[in-house]
A and B are shown apart, each in its own frame.
Chain A
Amino acid sequence: MSVLAFFGGVDPWIFAFSFITVVVTVWMGFRSAKQTRTTSDYFVAGRSVSVGWNASAISGEYLSAASFMGVAGMVMSSGYDALWYPVCYACGYLFLLLFIAGPLRRFGAYTIPDFAEGRFDSPLFRKIAVCFVLFIGFFYTMPQMKGAGTTLAYIFPGMPYWGGVVLVGAVITLNVALGGMKGITLVQAFQYWIKMFAISVPIFVLMAVYGSYGSHLGANDGRITPGAEVPAVVQTVGEDVQREPLATRAPADKGWISPFGPLTTKAAKAAGLSDEEARPYSLLYTYSLIIALVCGTAGLPHILVRFYTNPDGVAAKRTTMWVMILIGIFYVFPPVFGVMGRNLLPELYAATGAKGTDKVVLELPRVLNSGGGIWGSILSGITCAGAFAAFMSTFSGLLVSMTGALAHDVYGRILKPGATPAERMRMFKISAVVIGAIAIVLGAQVEQLQINFMVGQAFAIAAASYFPLLFMSVWWRGMTMTGAATGMLGGGLAALACTTVINLSDLKMIDLTAFWAANPLLRILCEQPAIWTVPLAIVLMIVVSKATATTTPEDIRMKMLVLHAPEDLGLKQEYIQEHTAGAGH
């Protein structure tokens, strides 16, 4: 009886598509995990596949729940300002390509902790860098968990938000602990194409039935105001667009479609400033957001690893070009969901948490059912499958890198350096369960926060810690370990503190409403800290490095050569031989 009640209201099509995606992903993960046993297999896996497959795999790993669900939800709720998210997610990759990817690839550092140790000959610095893998990782898992909770609450209307978080979190954690779901090229590539298919096909069908992207945007011209009761047909650019009545909580057309709208003016509006007075604050907010997203991409722990699964430098560059194209095309689509959702499904504005705008991608195709038939359900099932692909691939990728950091670096190098392989293996499983459990508990708290907003915070922390570290160490030979560590910790911890305060206050765990209203500037600098934390980190690095200039590594010229000289000169081999012959750490 209770089982029947649980399945009541479940759309069989949606359930079927989601279920198949989960089963296929888990199965493929296990199958590939059986074939690849060693760490080098894991990293070299990409070397036997073509540029096309590899580019799909990188894109598949990159597109998380934030890209798939969060962008659409945020465009729907905040309008134009939210477009910076997809644009900067894609453009951040360009920054990575221009300044960091090439040198890091030549250096042969697979992860940021590897690089930190190699560049400064300092195992201590490796440990510091590892802590940030965990910090950034947890901030990045929370939105994935919110995606999972939202999707399951949509598929099973009777299920509470936290139920979905626990279920999905447990399945993936178990999977990782048992050794499946590693970053296998084939699985990731497959997931990119699921996501691409799931985001684009429903949009083309919806546009064919309800009018194009442009005409839906054109319909937002101020003729319908929030709170109006009746649906209306609005004529734009030669097409009629149906608009449902807007909920009173929805932003009005003008603020929604123009820059400096509700997202960036929130703090200033809460302080009671007028539209004109709020504009400089919005500009500041926008710039800080751009800096966080563009610089932060370079520091996401699970992104850099994928960069090295290429046979040589030329292939790596070609792959990157394809990645930019694949993710660029993808990011055109989510905002379309947000725009059409505003016109066709405005009741989402009235709800919050798992029932709010973050689920517009899942629910929007179902409006097709109103004309009879099941196509809406089938398409909605397809977008649900895409959502599963998104948060499963990202969460498992993060879990693997965080578990690796905890088991390999924290346990294997700090707590018990002499551990046997069997002990390490057991520790990997325990770590996976511990980290999975923490991620689930954290994820269950954040129902009221927007997916995209949370990912932005993870980017802000990465931007203030890893980005300055990588950028400065690659291009400035005067950098010392002390300088690098001070800058990374200073910038990173400042950003971490700011985002934590903002989250606690937004979740109403501490009450700062009056304080924020009195200090809108502080609120913005706390909510989007990148504009001051990134320069802070860089300045700290320069000042402290100058003060400790005597401690620059002795073979710094050789290190810089390995970072910058073309691979064809064979300097890397020479460097490794010298290094292993000289020091024994």
Chain B
Amino acid sequence: MSVTPPPPSDVVHSEAFLRLLMRRQLKLSVACAAAFLIVLLGLPLANYYAPELMATRVAGFTLTWLVLGVLFFPAVWVISWIFIRRSIHLEKNEVGQVNQQREGRA
């Protein structure tokens, strides 16, 4: 197959760095996904257990129609905006950290 990987001399290639990296990013993604899934999977449950409440009329719309047909989209924008900001920040931190450690060794 392919060559054996070089010995993990550099901090970037260490097992610890990879674990830290993946855990941090996965944590952010899972947190954002959880916020999104609570709304997405919660709405059918609300429709199921509180049909009268969800059928309340708001300016002609039923409450559940207003949430799903209109308000859902801005909510998703907010989640993705937060995710993008945080993940850019996270990457900058990681790069900064690695550069610092590399300089420290040199």
Q: Do the two shown chains form a genuine complex with each other?
A: yes
- Please report A residues at the B interface, Cβ cutoff 8 Å: 80, 83-84, 86-87, 90-91, 94-95, 97-99, 102, 121, 212-219, 236-237, 257-260, 279, 283, 286-287, 290, 294, 313-314, 317-318, 320-321, 324-325, 328-329, 331-332, 335, 475, 553-555, 557-558, 560-561, 564-566, 568-569, 571, 578-579, 581-583
**Interface-centre pick from B32, B47, B70 (highest chain A CB count, 10 A):** B47
Complex Cα distance A313/B73, Å? Answer: 24
Cβ-defined contact, B91 with A566, below 8 A: yes
Q: Which residue of B lies closest to A325 (CB)?
A: B77
Cβ-defined contact, A475 with B26, below 8 A: yes
In the complex, the 7 A-B pairs of residues with the closest C-beta atoms, listed nearest first: A218-B60, A214-B60, A582-B3, A328-B73, A259-B47, A566-B91, A582-B2
Cβ-defined contact, A317 with B88, below 8 A: yes
Apart from A324-B76, A579-B2: 18 A-B pairs, beta carbons within 8 A: A80-B68, A83-B68, A86-B69, A97-B80, A97-B83, A98-B83, A215-B60, A218-B57, A219-B60, A260-B47, A287-B44, A290-B44, A294-B40, A317-B87, A321-B81, A566-B92, A569-B98, A578-B2
Complex Cα distance A286/B18, Å? Answer: 38
Complex Cα distance A260/B45, Å? Answer: 11
Residue A217 contacts which of B5, B65, B76, B84 (CB distance < 8 angstroms)? Answer: B65
Q: Is the interface of A mostly helix, strand, loop or mixed?
A: helix
Residue A328 contacts which of B29, B65, B77, B88 (CB distance < 8 angstroms)? Answer: B77
Interface residues of B in 9-59 (CB under 8 A from A): 12-13, 15, 18, 21-22, 25-26, 29, 32-33, 36, 40-41, 44, 47-48, 51, 54-55, 57, 59
Cβ-defined contact, A98 with B84, below 8 A: no
- Closest beta carbon of chain A to B12's beta carbon, Å: 6
- Closest beta carbon of chain B to A275's beta carbon, Å: 11
Complex Cα distance A287/B37, Å? Answer: 12
Q: A91-B40, A317-B84, A557-B18 are in contact. Are A258 and B1 (CB under 8 A)?
A: no
Residue B29 contacts which of A98, A214, A313, A324 (CB distance < 8 angstroms)? Answer: A98
Residue A216 contacts which of B44, B60, B64, B76 (CB distance < 8 angstroms)? Answer: B60
Task: Give every chain A residue within 8 A of B95 (Cβ-Cβ).
Answer: 566, 568-569
Q: How many residues of B contact A (CB 8 A)?
A: 53
Q: Is the interface of B mostly helix, strand, loop or mixed?
A: helix
Task: Give every chain B residue within 8 A of A90 (Cβ-Cβ).
Answer: 73, 76
Complex Cα distance A134/B80, Å? Answer: 31
Complex Cα distance A102/B25, Å? Answer: 10
Task: Give every chain A residue within 8 A of B2 (Cβ-Cβ).
Answer: 121, 553-555, 578-579, 582-583
Q: Which residue of B lies closest to A563 (CB)?
A: B22
Complex Cα distance A331/B1, Å? Answer: 48
Cβ-defined contact, B3 with A578, below 8 A: yes
- Closest beta carbon of chain A to B52's beta carbon, Å: 10
Complex Cα distance A568/B88, Å? Answer: 12
Q: Which residue of B lies closest to A314 (CB)?
A: B88
Q: 24 A-B pairs, CB-CB below 8 angstroms? A: A80-B68, A83-B69, A87-B69, A97-B84, A121-B2, A213-B60, A213-B61, A258-B51, A259-B44, A259-B47, A283-B44, A325-B77, A328-B76, A475-B22, A555-B3, A555-B4, A557-B5, A561-B18, A561-B21, A564-B18, A564-B21, A569-B98, A578-B5, A583-B3
Task: Give every chain A residue within 8 A of B83 (Cβ-Cβ).
Answer: 97-98
Residue A332 contacts which of B47, B69, B76, B79 (CB distance < 8 angstroms)? Answer: B69
Q: A259-B54, A329-B73, A557-B5 are in contact. Are A320 and B60 (CB under 8 A)?
A: no
Cβ-defined contact, B60 with A217, below 8 A: yes
- Closest beta carbon of chain A to B56's beta carbon, Å: 12
Task: Give every chain A residue within 8 A of B15 (Cβ-Cβ).
Answer: 557
